[in-house]
A and B are shown apart, each in its own frame.
Chain A
Amino acid sequence: WGRVRRMKMYLPPPGAKPARRSVLKRGLIGGALLALGGGAFLFTRGSVEVEAPADGLQSLTPREFAIVTALSYRVIPHRDGFPSVDAVQVARGCDRILTLVDDTALTETKQLLVLLENALPNFLFGRRARTFSTMSSDDQDAVLAEWRTSRITLRRTGYTALRGLVMAAYFSSPSTWPAIGYPGPLPGIYDPNAPVWKGAGVERPIGNGTFHEPAPTADGGSR
């Protein structure tokens, strides 16, 4: 723990100005990298290999995709009645969500994935000299629990970000709804052919939004 405490000293004090204009140092994850020893020292160790989706990757590298895949198995552990993360293609879903986020958010997510995978902090915090994606499930759960409950805010932040991404990718799938008893949208309501009015002299279709002067009420208003 002595070593860990020393690492904490690298966290910038509140309100400190960054030493140089570097995205890495100024960004959220830059702080985490510094706090945790940073560098790619043990990241040179391999990640698990995972087959990329048939229709390719759009925002993650194969290695990042492998890390997200490993993460998704532990964030959403298998439970009877629920579709598997493979069936829902959760990691592919994360890849697709990340095509839509701000460039800075994509960069930070990628940094977080490196940080999670990086064996050095895992070694320092938990004496595990393996990358996250190659650990046993129990060790992966222990790493995620450390992140979730860490005394270092940035680790809790990182856990929240990655967990949220994976959860959203999984529960966005209607195939999860039967397991949780969610009926989904009521049938017969949504109209995919509803008119889209754009003005330009075309008469506006009558609907709930068009206004008709209401009959006056007894108190003189519509309240």
Chain B
Amino acid sequence: MSGRIVTGDEITQDLTLECDVCVVGSGSGGAWTAHELVKQGKSVVMLEEGGYHTRREFDMTEPRAFQNLYQELGNRAADDLSVTILQGRSVGGGTTVNWCSTFRTPERILKIWKDRHGIDTLSTAALTPHWDAIEQRLHVAPWPQEMMNANNKVLWDGLGALGYERGLIRRNVNNCLNLGFCGLGCPVDAKQSMLVTVLPDAVEKGLTIYANTSARVLDWDGRKVTAVRAEVIDGATRKPTGVKVVVKPKVTVVSGGAINSPGLLMRSQLMSEGRVGEKTWFHPVLMMMAEFEHEVNAFQGAPQSVYSHHFIERGPGKMGYFLEVPPVQPMLASTVLTGAGAETIELMTKLKHLNVMLAIHVDGLLPDEEGATVRLRDGAHSRYSIKYAFTPAHWEAFRSSCKEMAKLQFAAGAKRVRSLHVSPVTLNSLADLDQLDDAKWEAMQVRVATAHQMGGCRMGKDASTSVVDPHLKYHSLDNLFVVDGSVLPTSLGVNPQETIFGIARWAATHIGQSV
């Protein structure tokens, strides 16, 4: 029995649907959950707020991609803009636009979840069969060193010169042409995103996906969710068309990702005494930019193929971080660069020679951290109030990581290194490194970004300190599950997609049994 993908323009009158399971969201969590459930023979309806955009539209230009594929056109941010939030919004969710980095959940993190949050369900042993199957389906393999682009090579060479730990990233690609536009939607379907793999596999097995359909509220009564109320969004204007979709499932799975899943729960008055939307982890990213004599062309080639976990554990009370690089395309680069307008234009003339390095900080592991708090915003449809609580440990780690990145960039031969402070610090040699100590290390004085959103519906054994139980069931309701990055009680220290894939594929077994 084949399902289908229905887009908003096809939904011209109100619909009421009945099914076994309604999955809200088509990203890494929703896709794998739905896929496994249809394999079990369940009838599954998936609602996706974003549009169904395919390689027919992936023309490798930034304006089109950010409009179609990112939350708030790529402008999602903390209220004071202290953190820029890159998050996917289309069929396939974040997997349509991520940079293909694939890591299994670190053993250390699973142990912390067990020890501190009572999560005895998720272990390396429990997840390994799922990871094996996922990696086979998504063609996960290390990216060959000879295919490494010059931007990654800066990191590779710097790590080698300083004797730091380094590794090659495993990527979920098939027949990849090494183009470099993963973040704008893969134009040749080489990226094994949910959009081109698991979702169409599931549609072949009976899944029906309603794209441009935004779940607004869950109706619930006693201990049961009775309906998911959604509205159709006009793909062009991004405004509601007025057409409503009501799904009446036996079981509901919320997979909207950190930020949007808490948003749906809060709109439904499911607050868990305020814990929904709390302790949202961002893997806060600091960047350093280096100028090289040779061309780096950081806009070309597989965006991420090298990583280092050398600084992942920095001792008690300190926040760890890991190192990678991003692709550098002009529109996003121009908005991220700092300094006065003329300085930015000057830097943009050097685009071909720029390397950008990322330090991705592992938040949520230190005792005093609150992370981000997500709340509903009056009058908003797709926007939330988001506040991130930086601690002294954040600023210590940020300063330290920026100095380490500068060392790596100089070690790899950089002529000049520049911070992304409001008043940028320019280092002309390693001897200038301490100038970074004098920079302002506070919110909105230096660019901070996130591409990995986690938490907000954290799992845990204790119903008074968590939102979902160790089987991902909402504590006080019997037929509501949350399956996405929002359930992670801490951040991960690795790019999150495979963790979410694995948890979703694992959870689908017992979710199916509950129908």
Contact = CB atoms under 8 A, between A and B. Distances in A.
A97 B63 CA distance: 9
Nearest to A97: B73
Interface string A137-154: 000010011001100011
B380 A145 contact: no
A182 B380 CA distance: 37
B181 A185 contact: yes
Contacts, number: 198
B72 interface: yes
Nearest to A172: B63
A223 B423 contact: no
Contact of A208 (B81, B190, B378, B380): B190
- Dominant secondary structure at the B interface: loop
A171 interface: yes
- Dominant secondary structure at the A interface: loop
B136 interface: yes
Interface stretch (B119-127, B172-180, B253-261): B172-180
Contacts of B196: 207-209
A167 B179 CA distance: 25
Interface string B192-212: 100111001101100000000
Interface in A174-223: 174, 176-177, 179-182, 184-186, 189-202, 204, 207-211, 214, 221-223
Contacts of B379: 23, 103-104, 107
Contact of A100 (B2, B58, B238, B333): B238
15 contacts: A28-B79, A79-B346, A79-B349, A104-B380, A104-B383, A149-B422, A171-B330, A180-B349, A185-B187, A190-B58, A194-B54, A196-B56, A199-B204, A208-B192, A214-B136
Given A174-B61, A198-B4, 17 more contacts: A82-B345, A148-B340, A161-B81, A168-B331, A171-B62, A190-B187, A191-B56, A192-B59, A197-B200, A198-B52, A199-B2, A199-B4, A199-B200, A200-B4, A201-B2, A202-B2, A214-B139
Interface of B: 2-7, 52, 54-56, 58-63, 67, 72-73, 75, 79-82, 132, 135-137, 139-141, 170, 174-175, 177, 179, 181, 187-190, 192, 195-197, 200-201, 203-204, 237-238, 299, 329-331, 333-335, 340-342, 344-346, 348-349, 351-352, 377-383, 422-423, 443-445
Interface of A: 21, 23, 26, 28, 74-77, 79, 81-82, 97, 99-105, 107, 141, 144-145, 148-149, 153-154, 156-157, 160-161, 163-164, 167-168, 170-172, 174, 176-177, 179-182, 184-186, 189-202, 204, 207-211, 214, 221-223
